[in-house]
Amino acid sequence: MGRLMKDEMAQMLGDIRQEVRLTKDWIGRDHLDERVMSAMKKVPRHEFVPSECRYFAYANGPLAIGQGQTISQPYIVALMSDLLETDAGDVVLEVGTGSGYQAAVLSQLVKQVYSLEIIAPLAHAAAERLRRLGYDNVEVRAGDGYHGWAEHAPFDGIIVTAAAPCIPPPLIEQLKPGGRLVAPVGTAYGHQVLTVAEKDKHGTIAMHEVLPVAFVPLTGRHESENDAG
């Protein structure tokens, strides 16, 4: 990474810390885990955005990545990673691979990341990008994340990067007791709230809201499913 990009990375990390301070009353913390900040520093965000957007790669905002999808604001990526409260030996599921950036950050924090992307061209491009950049503990599959990835369940943590009116029941089922799920909950273009769901050792779910957010909608054919909040 060149000197200019190192300076831009440093600015991004500073912006994240500043936004944490500004939102501390919502998020219940005045700093993020240094493991998370270290992971954010290690991942070259410019590799995960379209070439025409690279000038803005380290700006603290979302960017379009094609197919109607976006790469999330760095602050939100860092916050969601922090809220997941992972350990180095964890296995986590991501729903909504996008460009692969969030998965790359998570890969620095856990043992294994499984990531699902419903838009096949994005899934294939992200898988190739992650492979090329050496993120060997990330596996990407094209598929409907609503239904999770039962083959590798249960998961120590689940992160969802698209909004649904309620958290999909299959994801709750695939969360390990003691695990956390972090997701935006709300309507596609209306009120959304970043939400944390915790499953205790008895399988009981406790949920708490963190702060308002704006994500692309979770898509797929599951209108007949009975959602559970």
pLDDT of 12 strictly over 60: yes
88: its two tokens: 């180095």
What whole-number percentage of the chain has pLDDT above 90? Answer: 78
Contacts with 40 (C-beta within 8 Å, 6 or more apart), sequence order: 12, 13, 16, 74, 77, 78, 81, 105
Active-site residue among 38, 51, 72, 224? 72
Burial, 219: exposed, middle or buried (Cβ in 10 Å; 0-12, 13-18, 19+)?
middle
Q: Quick: pLDDT tens for 56-66.
A: 999 999 999 99
What domains are there in the chain, each with its CATH number?
3-212 (3.40.50.150)
63: which strand partners? 71
Q: Quick: pLDDT tens for 166-214.
A: 899 999 999 999 999 999 999 766 689 999 999 998 889 999 999 988 8
* Entry pTM: 0.92
Q: What is the pLDDT of residue 187?
A: 78
pLDDT of 216 strictly over 90: no
Catalytic (active site) residue 72: yes
Q: How confident is the model at residue 221 (pLDDT cuts 50, 70, 90)?
A: low
The type of residue at 175 is L
